[in-house]
Structure 1
Amino acid sequence: MKAEQTNRASGYVPFPGPVVAVILDGMGMGPKDGSDGVHVAHTPVLDSLLGTGLFTPLKAHGLAVGLPSDGDMGNSEVGHNALGAGRIFSQGAKLVNEALDSGRIFEGATWARVLEQARQGGVVHFIGMVSDGNVHSHIDQLFKLIDRCVLEGITTVRVHGLLDGRDVAAKSGLHYFRALEEKLAAASVEGRDYRIASGGGRMVTTMDRYNADWRIVERGWQAHVLGEGRFFPSATAAIQTYYDEDPEQTDQYMDSFVIAEEGQPVGTIEDGDAVILFNYRGDRAVEISRAFDEVEFREFDRRRYPRVFYAGMMQYDGDARIPNHYLVEPPAISGTLGEYLCEQGVSSYAISETQKFGHVTYFWNGNRSGYIDEQLERYVEIPSDRVPFDQRPWMKAEEITVAVIQAIAEGRHKFIRLNYANGDMVGHTGVESSVRIAVETVDLCLGRLLEAVKKAGGIVLVTADHGNADCMWTEKNGQRLPMVAHTRNPVPCVIQDYNQANGFALAPVEQPGLANVAATLCTLLGLTPPAHFEPSLLCLEA
């Protein structure tokens, strides 16, 4: 007897249509005032869905997605991990904090190699984002690494710092880089030389993702490795100059810079050095890691390839082994929803545009690249446009919608998942008119998608991975300040059943969160959820 038969839920009545999970990336449930981009947008489809479907809010931040505290905002990586894994794992910041607090991070072979390079005369370089946004990195973790370098007697350290302005305030770079400069200056005693060597805004320097624009990584390589770029005497001088030259300048889009003395960069990366990428989130760490790790590299002309020991804070892609060396073991996520559906013979289809493609595949599948079962799965990536997202806020929602409608009509896939990236990517720009257009675009496309699901007699589950567009600005001292970071607001989860073959009802789940969605999808598909999943949000009425 097949596993598919033994795991069927008792009393469930099969139906012909698909189960479609729609992730409205970055569209949380805000305060329903003028700052709430989801509320002020014209969203008749979403409003109707929330009024007629089975609805519950979900927690999408903090402890509910494995982060250190409920003060931590959610993000797309941990959100999709929770959605696809069906349970909560210690994530990014929490894993790194635990390794730093216990000292475990300094006990492995990777840190030993860093020390070996330093004791043979190599410089220790740290590359990463300098903020306390706690999504890709945290400045406190960098400070602990610097403290350890002092303790170990490492004489020369260089930091290549990337400005955030996305998970923190849009123009907060001076605050973090002043603190970093003070930290390094305090360490530069007793023969030690610790300095910032280069930097730039995260969206134009180093931190590209999903092969969207390798020019971003090339720009980082030029600044960090080659020492090429605009010269400044200090990082804070660079940031202040860019602010002064363009009052509209925000941190995430700031040009790269190089710190120089007497016309020479102070911290190029050379043979024999050690390089640590101290970001812990994977999506924007893979490409720069490849540039350091791959001998045969063709994405751009590196011009000079220093023989260094390179390590990531974590291994950002376990299947592809990127990078080869890392300080902290990633969460071991097995038994995901994707694996379970493949075991049960359920065919599935996953789609998004480039900016979120890895979220509905790699992160959804527990930080695993590639197909679980290529015979049962189909993954589709729609290439994202290479323009600022506020200039094209509709992004690729239309193309995604057309592809999904076609997949529904073909009837080959019982489970379909898709991600509309607009609410998050445009929400990060802080441009209010563009945020409204982004949300309205998603709503328009959602309406067409629902009609296709209805025609096929299927079921749709609509949710989000975290908030963003639900807060476009905050007020301080009577002034509106753009809000470009994620929020800690709950996200909606609404189920619309267009076939009524089964009597679904909301189950009494305490403090429901994103991790409950996987079991809920099992319920909709007529499968008994695995015992290790968080409970389903639904039950079958007798």
Structure 2
Amino acid sequence: MRQVEAKIVELGHYGRIATITGRFWAMDRDNRWERVQKAYDVLSGRAVAATATSAEAAIQHYYDHPLSETQKGDEFVPATAILDPLTGRPLAHFTDGDAVVFFNYRGDRPREITRAFVMDDFTSFERGPKLDLYYATMTEYEAGLPVKIVSPKPPKLKNILGEVVAAAGVAQFRCAETEKNPHVTFFFNNYRKEPFPLEDRACPASPKVATYDMQPEMNAAEVTRLSKEAILSGKYGLVIVNYANPDMVGHTGSIPATTQACEATDAGVGELLAALKSVGGRAVVCADHGNAEQMWDPVLPGPHTAHTLNLVEVFIVGDDFPKATTKMTTGGRLADIAPTVLHLMGLPKPVEMTGESLIVG
């Protein structure tokens, strides 16, 4: 923040920081609209619950006086308006005729607050009249939003995993609780909202707690139950499951809670592997990034709450897996997971997939 403030001074005070808020409030993605409203109210000037004399002062005050023992860190900084030193009033807020450029390049977290600002029929909380804004987003957050897009997404990918499986006439099932459901549906399908033919989905609700260290098991039990039911039904040739626990609880920085989160995930995966074994299935168990494996930052020093760049493991499990004649390749990358799944299913890899099966022989 000091670097940003220094750059503003260097540029001749071209612009000022008018509000500060953590992603816990403004970047919710789980329909916690009471959180989003707090950020919206400060940005729109409808209501100001917290103020500070500068952005740095706002952050430092929160560091010194966190909301609770479980709400520490930048993501929990309350929605705060910065005061003008001359007038004692908030520096600025959005008004009719303003231009807004949303620099967040993710596709999930900016959606809710963007809807609040741009949708005519918005009803998720009482926002008052819609502001007349020129609203530009870094990328397409969601189809149908009335915004200007700075960097449109590249052309749709062809022959992604779900599409190939559907084209082969194989039914598939996707399951994750609400915190991670887009990761097995919308994102997994290359920003496609609609399921592919023969694609069924389940989305149990994540627990409504302030932070997930308060309920580290989250809704793993229901994710497991629904996915196990899908496996045992014999209806599906592909079941895709995401357990949110290690990542979402890992973000809290609580080692005891993250341990419980990993235990809950381990129990769920164990049940699913047993179910697969009973029907002669195979499983690919992997992650797309690290988090829970590093809970302490020795440089700070303090809790490590972010994703890591550590390599992730991948396990291929199945009683009928031909161990004697098949070897895993060395190395590998995430792009190799889909070709590996197709290999296990006996389906050809399309030319559009640049990855290779992790199985040779």
- Contact 2:177-2:206 at 8 Å conserved across structures: yes
Aligned equivalent of 2:165: 341
Gapped runs of 5+ residues in structure 1? Answer: 1-176
Gap change, CA 1:531 and 1:437, over 3 Å in 2: same
Residue 230 in structure 1 maps to residue 50 in structure 2: yes
Residue 357 in structure 1 maps to residue 176 in structure 2: no
- Of residues 201, 204, 210, the one that matches 1:379 is 201
Q: Distance in 2 between matches of 1:329 and 1:187?
A: 30
- Contact 1:290-1:323 at 8 Å conserved across structures: no
Aligned equivalent of 2:22: 201
- Contact 1:390-1:426 at 8 Å conserved across structures: yes
- Please list, as runs of the form range in 1=range in 2, the aligned pairs for 1:77-476 lying within 5 A after superposition: 177-188=1-12, 192=14, 194-203=15-24, 205-209=25-29, 211-226=30-45, 228-246=48-66, 249-261=72-84, 262-317=87-142, 320-322=143-145, 324-335=147-158, 336-373=160-197, 376-387=198-209, 388-476=211-299
- Contact 2:20-2:58 at 8 Å conserved across structures: no
Give the Å deviation of 1:202: 1.0
Give the Å deviation of 1:322: 3.5
- Contact 2:20-2:77 at 8 Å conserved across structures: no
Gap change, CA 1:386 and 1:480, over 3 Å in 2: same
- Contact 1:352-1:382 at 8 Å conserved across structures: yes
- Provide the secondary structure at the position in 2 that maps to 1:236: helix
1:354 maps to a residue whose letter is T
Q: Is the deviation greater in 333-342 or in 484-493?
A: 333-342
Aligned equivalent of 1:526: 346
Gap change, CA 1:504 and 1:367, over 3 Å in 2: farther
- Provide the secondary structure at the position in 1 that maps to 2:283: strand
Q: Distance in 2 between matches of 1:488 and 1:337?
A: 25
Give the strand-richer structure, 1 or 2. Answer: 1
Residue 483 in structure 1 maps to residue 304 in structure 2: yes
1:383 maps to a residue whose letter is A
- Please list, as runs of the form range in 1=range in 2, the aligned pairs for 1:31-50 lying within 5 A after superposition: none
Q: Distance in 2 between matches of 1:231 and 1:482?
A: 27
Gap change, CA 1:500 and 1:182, over 3 Å in 2: closer
1:224 maps to a residue whose letter is L
1:285 maps to a residue whose letter is P
Give the Å deviation of 1:245: 2.6
Residue 498 in structure 1 maps to residue 342 in structure 2: no
1:216 maps to a residue whose letter is R
Deviations along 1:92-116, one digit per CA (max 9) or x if unpaired, are xxxxxxxxxxxxxxxxxxxxxxxxx
Q: Is the deviation greater in 267-276 or in 243-252?
A: 243-252
Gap change, CA 1:323 and 1:337, over 3 Å in 2: farther
Q: Distance in 2 between matches of 1:361 and 1:322?
A: 19
- Provide the secondary structure at the position in 2 that maps to 1:255: coil
1:243 maps to a residue whose letter is Y
1:220 maps to a residue whose letter is A
Q: Distance in 1 between matches of 2:236 and 2:154?
A: 30
CA RMSD of aligned residues (A): 1.9
- Provide the secondary structure at the position in 2 that maps to 1:258: strand
Gap change, CA 1:502 and 1:528, over 3 Å in 2: farther
Deviations along 1:344-384, one digit per CA (max 9) or x if unpaired, are 111100000011000000111112222122xx010111111
2:242 maps to a residue whose letter is N
2:334 maps to a residue whose letter is L
Give the Å deviation of 1:503: 7.4
Gap change, CA 1:377 and 1:520, over 3 Å in 2: same
Give the Å deviation of 1:305: 2.0
Q: Distance in 2 between matches of 1:303 and 1:232?
A: 25
- Contact 1:334-1:366 at 8 Å conserved across structures: yes
Q: Distance in 1 between matches of 2:267 and 2:10?
A: 55
Q: Distance in 2 between matches of 1:208 and 1:504?
A: 48
Q: Distance in 2 between matches of 1:398 and 1:504?
A: 36
Give the Å deviation of 1:504: 6.6
- Contact 1:311-1:323 at 8 Å conserved across structures: no
- Contact 1:201-1:254 at 8 Å conserved across structures: yes
Q: Distance in 2 between matches of 1:240 and 1:496?
A: 49
Gap change, CA 1:524 and 1:502, over 3 Å in 2: farther
User: What's the TM-score once normalised by structure 1's chain length?
Assistant: 0.62
- Contact 1:286-1:322 at 8 Å conserved across structures: no
Gap change, CA 1:232 and 1:514, over 3 Å in 2: same
User: What's the TM-score once normalised by structure 2's chain length?
Assistant: 0.92
Q: Distance in 2 between matches of 1:291 and 1:486?
A: 28
Q: Distance in 2 between matches of 1:313 and 1:433?
A: 38
- Please list, as runs of the form range in 1=range in 2, the aligned pairs for 1:34-73 lying within 5 A after superposition: none
Gapped runs of 5+ residues in structure 2? Answer: none
Gap change, CA 1:392 and 1:372, over 3 Å in 2: same
2:60 maps to a residue whose letter is Q
Q: Distance in 2 between matches of 1:245 and 1:316?
A: 34
Gap change, CA 1:434 and 1:504, over 3 Å in 2: farther
Q: Distance in 1 between matches of 2:164 and 2:83?
A: 55
1:197 maps to a residue whose letter is A
- Contact 2:119-2:145 at 8 Å conserved across structures: no
Aligned equivalent of 1:50: none
Identity %: 36
Q: Distance in 2 between matches of 1:523 and 1:301?
A: 51
Deviations along 1:128-153, one digit per CA (max 9) or x if unpaired, are xxxxxxxxxxxxxxxxxxxxxxxxxx
